[in-house]
Structure 1
Amino acid sequence: MTPWLGLDRLGFFLIRIFLRLCTRANALPSNPDELQLAPNTPVVYVLRDRSAADAAAADQSARQLGLASALHGLTLGKSHLSHSYFQLYRRKFSNGRQRTPVSPPRLEKLVSALRANPEADVQLVPVSVFWGRRPEKESSLWRILFSDNWSPAGFIKKFFIIVTQGRQLYVHFSKPMSLRTLVDQCPTDEQTVRKASRILRVHFRRQQEAAIGPDLSHRRTLTNTVVDSIPVQEAIRAEAQRQETSIEKMEAKARHYAMEIAADYSHTVIRSLELFLNWVWNRLYAGVRLYNMDNLTKVAGDHEVIYVPCHRSHIDYLLLSFVVFRNGLVPPHIAAGINLNMPIVGTILRRGGAFFMRRSFRDNPLYATVFSEYLHTITVRGYSIEYFVEGGRSRSGRMLKPRTGMLAMTLRSFLRDARKPIAFVPVYVGYEKVIESGSYIGELHGKKKQKESVGGLMKSLAVLRSHFGQVHVNFGEPIKLVDFLDEHHTAWRSEDLAADESPAWFKHVVNELGQEVVESINAAAVANPINLLSLALLASPKHTMDVAQLRQQLNLYIALLKQAPYSDSASIATDDASAIIQYG
């Protein structure tokens, strides 16, 4: 018998029976042909953690997809493996919150066997196992507490995770990696094992980041990193000299700025907000429709995603985070105005990923440096980020001229340390009725904008008695920053940009990037039923039409949108004129 985690085959069999009773695996991709497995080539599954439950879940999902079992043995030449899987990490029992990498004996055997059999090959298939990655099914805070995160679970916590999250088990099979290719590239078995392990660890980390977000440090630790950075320390010394005060006083001020800005991300709060917002959306809207979600998923795994949505309502950032989380990705960190940092509300938003910024900080170089360094820190750590290039909410529903400050800081951060490629994902959020429409009309007629406050928020809860139709969220074609820079400034790789330097080419590239972002948002517009009805009625002389004329006009609009589409990303919510009229 082969012991594994102190369990013999009988113990492992009992775990499989337990999982069958407590779990329902969601295996991805649902179509195994998407894995592009080579026929007649052995498959060995790779798991991140040494966990009997994860191994059994992977085996269960493999059988569900019609793939080879992870528990079957494998023979290559004179080498024999009792099971067709291995793991990359084991938990440190001296410190339950850490995992340590191991050199898998089965991988070493495979490499040695392939070295002795030049014609043989093995396909390594990484399998990511997430517990609780179907948040739409979560209905209690108890389940939220026992969902997947970056800390390895001990035996007791794993038991509760299986019991509470077993029905929301998410198992992702990635495309195979040829071990033969690595064996041929490396002169020794030891180098091959190290290289394969390194590639697989990077892959699992990216899968983990895409699903539940980067490994988060405590907010205070993050702010200490920002304040101790070279640019901020230089700004502290310069400001202390300018104001003729002590460096300690300026450093305390910089630390205050960093704490004012920084998010305090909490997975528990995220999941709690998901439950609350699910209830809110059901009260307010007749549904949330998504378009071109694959535009996001195709870059989320290997790019840092910068979400750049249009800004029509305060609902935008809540809705986008909700949609992203519902589709198995981590919600972004959101650049929010300091006006939203209200008592209680600000704390909840901060725990949900919001980081706060002042409306203007041109005359405060220390604050500007701290904010820029904070943005750079979360960028290089791989956090997905969201900000609005329009600056504020559009009162008219049209795109505003881009304000390029955040784009410039993002570009400068990338040029300074391009650890991971960046993709800007434009997002069009189309409402059939905007919650703030009443106040917008007043402001367009000259009424003064009311400041956000807790009292105003409590009054706005009255909208929960109203209905606002459907919401349409369309993900546009991603803008990959490397490709954009190659097109607009081919020498960018050799540029060494100083912190306060803005050469002509940099300003030009930032302006072009801002223009492309807003054009890409417009290109992802969705023609919803209320848009089309409003267009037809408002274009008529008396703003009225009989039904036959209205149907004819709608059919004309639909035909034009289909035959001469604005872009490949643009969509039509409904192409049946009668259904549009009935819906309206």
Structure 2
Amino acid sequence: MILNIYQKLVGIPLKLLVNSKLLPEDPIKDLEIDLEQPIYYVLQRNSTSSFLMLREKARALGLPEPKIIPKKSNKIENGSVFFLQSKMILGLGGSPIQRYQKSLFQLLEQQRSDIETKHQLLPLSIYWGRNPGKENSFFRVIFTDTESASFIRKFFLFIFQGRNTFIRLTKPVDLRRVALSETKHEVQVRKLTRTLRVHFHRLRQVAMGPLVSNRGQMVTNLIVSDTVREAINREMKKKKLTKSKATKLAKKYALEISSAYSYKAVRFMESMLTHLWNKIYNGVVVQNAELVREISSTHQVVYVPSHRSHIDYLLLSYTLYHEGLVPPHIAAGINLNFWPAGPLLRRGGAFFLRRSFGGNKLYTAVFNEYIYQLMNRGTPLEFFPEGGRSRTGRLLQPKTGLLAMTVQALLRGTRKPVAIIPVYIGYERMFEGNSYLKELRGGEKKKESFGQLLGIRKTLKQNFGKVYLNFSPPIDLNKYLDQHEPDWKDYRGQVGAKPSWLTPRVSSLSELIMQRINGTSRVNSISLVALVLLSSERTAVGKKELAIQLDILLSLMKSVPYSNCTMVPTESGQALIEQAKDLGTIFEVKNPMGDIITTTEETAVLMTYYRNNIIHIFIAFSLVASCFVNHKRVALSTLVKRCLQFYPFLKRELFIHWSSEDFEIQIEKTVESFIELKLLSKSDTHIIRPNELCDELDQLLLMAEIIKPILLRYGILLTLLSSQAGKSISRRELEQHSQEVAQRLAALYSINAPESFDKDLFKTTTSVLRKTGLIKIADDNSFEVSDELIKLNAQVLGNVSVNSKRIMQKTADWAKQHWNKE
């Protein structure tokens, strides 16, 4: 009676002031909860408000009604609630509740007597706010756990944190596994209780993060560390500085680098960003967040997202916060440290680094130590492996500096194993679209400033569609090194260790990260329509023909998936066209013979960006199709061999995850799917393209156009290499000449592929040519070209149209004449 009255009193402010969020949003599906079997709940502490909130969520989800276990009970009923510990008040209490341990023993006895029934023990955590508290705080000592606060303090929590409360459910414990153990029953109960307590503690760390250090204390810790003190001594000797000046310089670097994380700032930014996202986006679609929640409880997490927009910084932190995870400390370029963005980002967890350390060993030592201390404390980190934002829509070649520091921190010794989580971030429309458009046309990048912030007001009135954030399967760095570098533990405890395998292994790891990001790409209406539209001759396609081509691509993605994590639209081609029209990237021209879908010249340039987000998914389809541009029939073995010749270049450039063997299987599956779609047919050992007047031939040739800009770039480089064989030319000159040719080619023939004259792509291709032995560079910088390279060049020319071949050869002839004059 008294308990019911008390619950009703507590329930009044709960209903008025508290609005909790449930994680995951669909726990029955995500956690595989079996509603046909008994379910029992476990809460960490005995709390009436927690019990009432559990009851509300259980009713909403259709779970068994939560029940308080009577002191004397012959049977533990379905829906019973276990409290592991009593409340803590003024730092006292929190001991295990004996009667619930006895009840747990009784429940195990019930499980043993009915082993066919799966008794499920469902742990549930409730968090009031997300403030981890500060170190050396008097109030933290008194109020160690807000769940155990006094009635008065709980009332204030209802007022100030009621709208910032979330409830986290985790996978239920199958008590059959516990009951079948041969361990003594009393030991089993103690072990299960201890395991659950550790589980709750880890979940709290995942949600709240470590205690926040005072920034001044963090700077002091950096300066007094052994590594920084040694660097200070070296600086004194090298530059003849006094100890005071050298220490002051190190402190200056520490203040320049370190974040000033503030829970109040995070709450402010969360509120501001909620308003912003609702204004400019139609929703943020998140995939695989549960993977991150699971591994965060046992590992030090490092997020490595793709980088396409300044929104990326904010979006990932915002998403993690709403998924019940700690926002990470983010490595941001020093160019963003301007007022007012810099101070706000710093309070949100950003720490700043220079674009180049420039051989500054003291700065390097301070930065390395900062990274290590964050990781050793268990603070989640985030950095962008590409270094800067991609202006072409493709993933950039990764910068390995921060990744190497992460590996070195693990070698030095961190409290937890390290998990690297690649993250794909994609947009239906880019916030920085207009500035990217200018840069894609050759304009210079504008420096970030307060003026740019003021200029975004007009942009906020536009519709930018949806944002997609997909978490890739985590890379357990400890296990990765166990597999590839078994001796890595020999370097444990060494500061700044640089084993001989470090650089090549970090390089391989960075490629794996980029492959994982591409593997979780999201295909959307804009990117898919752009892929087809830009493959047409004049960026215009009949509406009916466009819908059919989109349906073909959708069918191929499902029958021959790029990866299990790639997200494919469920809508039809026609529906995708309407979505793209609503977002203003294409428009429809009415015509009595059939409506036409097209876009403006300006938008067509920007659409190359969206196409490049997903081009890797379709590269195998397009490569197969390109083999039939100049050939009506090709033997299957020849087709596979020809595709495999190109694969090392495509794999490195587009960060494709297949091995050569897997790629061969992918090609064979692609041919089978093409045959099912009537894009190809088979006669004995040969594959045959459709007849000239068939629509299927047009569809096949349109698909072949996807890879055309890449093949043209390969053709340029290979033709130039062939012409310069035996001559003295540096790699830099070769790449510069290739870029000049590509720029001329794009300007004269309106090729919509700004990445085609990206110097870094020519570097990548040259690197693969050297690695595969197709070219060798002598001591005098002269090139030696193998016969295989000549054959490869012929293959490239064989996969493009006669007109494209003529354009390429004509441009190469012009280039030779021009350089001979030089």
TM-score, structure 2 normalization: 0.60
CA–CA distance in 2 between the matches of 1:58 and 1:537?
Answer: 52
CA contact (8 A) 1:292 1:569 kept: no
CA contact (8 A) 1:427 1:473 kept: yes
Residue matched to 2:95: 102
Residue matched to 1:572: 568
Pick closer, same or farther for the CA change 1:450–1:44 going to 2, 3 Å: closer
Correspondent of 1:386 among 379, 382, 385? 382
Match status 1:47 vs 2:44: yes
Gaps of 5+ in 1: 2-6, 78-82, 134-147
Residue matched to 2:761: none
CA contact (8 A) 2:408 2:496 kept: no
486-495 or 555-564, which moves further after superposition?
A: 486-495
Correspondent of 2:371 among 371, 375, 379? 375
One-letter amino acid of the counterpart of residue 472, structure 1: Y
Correspondent of 1:349 among 340, 345, 354? 345
Pick closer, same or farther for the CA change 1:540–1:41 going to 2, 3 Å: closer
Residue matched to 2:222: 226
CA drift of 1:410 comes to 0.9
One-letter amino acid of the counterpart of residue 45, structure 1: V
Pick closer, same or farther for the CA change 1:249–1:201 going to 2, 3 Å: farther
One-letter amino acid of the counterpart of residue 53, structure 1: S
Match status 1:14 vs 2:9: yes
Correspondence list, 1:8-407, <5 A: 11-12=6-7, 14-16=9-11, 19=14, 23=18, 34=31, 45-48=42-45, 51-58=47-54, 61=57, 66-67=63-64, 69-73=66-70, 85-88=82-85, 90-91=87-88, 93=90, 102-106=95-99, 126-131=123-128, 153-163=149-159, 165-166=161-162, 169-174=165-170, 175-176=172-173, 199-407=195-403
DSSP-derived class of the 1:408 partner: helix
Pick closer, same or farther for the CA change 1:72–1:390 going to 2, 3 Å: same
CA contact (8 A) 1:362 1:368 kept: no
CA drift of 1:401 comes to 0.7
Pick closer, same or farther for the CA change 1:233–1:54 going to 2, 3 Å: farther
31-40 or 356-365, which moves further after superposition?
A: 31-40
> Could you report, residue by residue, the CA deviation over 1:154-174 in whole angstroms, capped at 9, with x for unpaired residues?
543320322455466533344
288-297 or 359-368, which moves further after superposition?
A: 288-297
Residue matched to 1:560: 556
CA–CA distance in 2 between the matches of 1:118 and 1:532?
Answer: 54
CA–CA distance in 2 between the matches of 1:527 and 1:41?
Answer: 41
CA contact (8 A) 2:376 2:415 kept: yes
CA contact (8 A) 2:38 2:120 kept: yes
TM-score, structure 1 normalization: 0.82
Pick closer, same or farther for the CA change 1:206–1:339 going to 2, 3 Å: same
CA drift of 1:395 comes to 0.9
> Could you report, residue by residue, the CA deviation over 1:188-225 in whole angstroms, capped at 9, with x for unpaired residues?
98x985x6665444322321233233332222222222
CA drift of 1:31 comes to 5.2
Larger radius of gyration: 2
CA drift of 1:385 comes to 1.5
Pick closer, same or farther for the CA change 1:150–1:355 going to 2, 3 Å: farther
CA–CA distance in 2 between the matches of 1:119 and 1:446?
Answer: 73
Gaps of 5+ in 2: 75-79, 131-142, 581-822
Residue matched to 1:499: 495
Pick closer, same or farther for the CA change 1:111–1:524 going to 2, 3 Å: closer
CA contact (8 A) 2:84 2:197 kept: no
One-letter amino acid of the counterpart of residue 307, structure 2: H
Residue matched to 2:791: none
Correspondent of 1:442 among 433, 438, 452? 438
One-letter amino acid of the counterpart of residue 447, structure 1: G
Pick closer, same or farther for the CA change 1:111–1:288 going to 2, 3 Å: closer
DSSP-derived class of the 2:260 partner: coil
The structure with the largest helix share of the pair is: 2
CA contact (8 A) 1:338 1:359 kept: yes
CA–CA distance in 2 between the matches of 1:314 and 1:554?
Answer: 31
Identity of aligned residues (%): 36
CA–CA distance in 2 between the matches of 1:480 and 1:216?
Answer: 26
CA drift of 1:321 comes to 1.7
One-letter amino acid of the counterpart of residue 127, structure 2: F
DSSP-derived class of the 2:316 partner: helix
One-letter amino acid of the counterpart of residue 86, structure 1: F
173-182 or 464-473, which moves further after superposition?
A: 173-182
CA drift of 1:298 comes to 3.7
CA drift of 1:580 comes to 1.3
Residue matched to 1:141: none
Match status 1:482 vs 2:475: no
Pick closer, same or farther for the CA change 1:514–1:291 going to 2, 3 Å: same
> Could you report, residue by residue, the CA deviation over 1:59-113 in whole angstroms, capped at 9, with x for unpaired residues?
5555665447452225589xxxxx95435475453xxxx6775354446766999
29-38 or 489-498, which moves further after superposition?
A: 29-38
Residue matched to 2:632: none
CA contact (8 A) 2:285 2:468 kept: yes
CA contact (8 A) 2:259 2:346 kept: yes
> Could you report, residue by residue, the CA deviation over 1:467-505 in whole angstroms, capped at 9, with x for unpaired residues?
333322222222221232222112323333633332221
DSSP-derived class of the 1:527 partner: coil
DSSP-derived class of the 1:407 partner: helix
Correspondence list, 1:448-527, <5 A: 448-496=444-492, 498-527=494-523
> Could you say which structure has the greater relative contact order, defined with CA pairs below 8 angstroms and 6 or more residues apart?
1
CA–CA distance in 1 between the matches of 2:36 and 2:429?
Answer: 53
Query: How many corresponding residue pairs?
Result: 555
CA–CA distance in 1 between the matches of 2:144 and 2:385?
Answer: 31
CA drift of 1:406 comes to 0.8
CA–CA distance in 1 between the matches of 2:112 and 2:428?
Answer: 62
CA–CA distance in 1 between the matches of 2:277 and 2:466?
Answer: 10
CA drift of 1:24 comes to 5.7
> Could you report, residue by residue, the CA deviation over 1:518-560 in whole angstroms, capped at 9, with x for unpaired residues?
1111111222111111111111112211112211221222122
RMSD between aligned residues: 3.9
Pick closer, same or farther for the CA change 1:561–1:326 going to 2, 3 Å: same
> Could you report, residue by residue, the CA deviation over 1:269-316 in whole angstroms, capped at 9, with x for unpaired residues?
222212222222233233333334344334333333222111111111
Pick closer, same or farther for the CA change 1:247–1:125 going to 2, 3 Å: farther
CA–CA distance in 2 between the matches of 1:180 and 1:560?
Answer: 46
Pick closer, same or farther for the CA change 1:69–1:261 going to 2, 3 Å: same
524-533 or 167-176, which moves further after superposition?
A: 167-176
CA–CA distance in 2 between the matches of 1:319 and 1:293?
Answer: 14
Pick closer, same or farther for the CA change 1:31–1:310 going to 2, 3 Å: closer
CA–CA distance in 2 between the matches of 1:246 and 1:150?
Answer: 47
Pick closer, same or farther for the CA change 1:378–1:159 going to 2, 3 Å: same
CA drift of 1:402 comes to 0.7
One-letter amino acid of the counterpart of residue 455, structure 2: K
CA–CA distance in 2 between the matches of 1:115 and 1:552?
Answer: 60
330-339 or 217-226, which moves further after superposition?
A: 217-226
DSSP-derived class of the 1:472 partner: strand
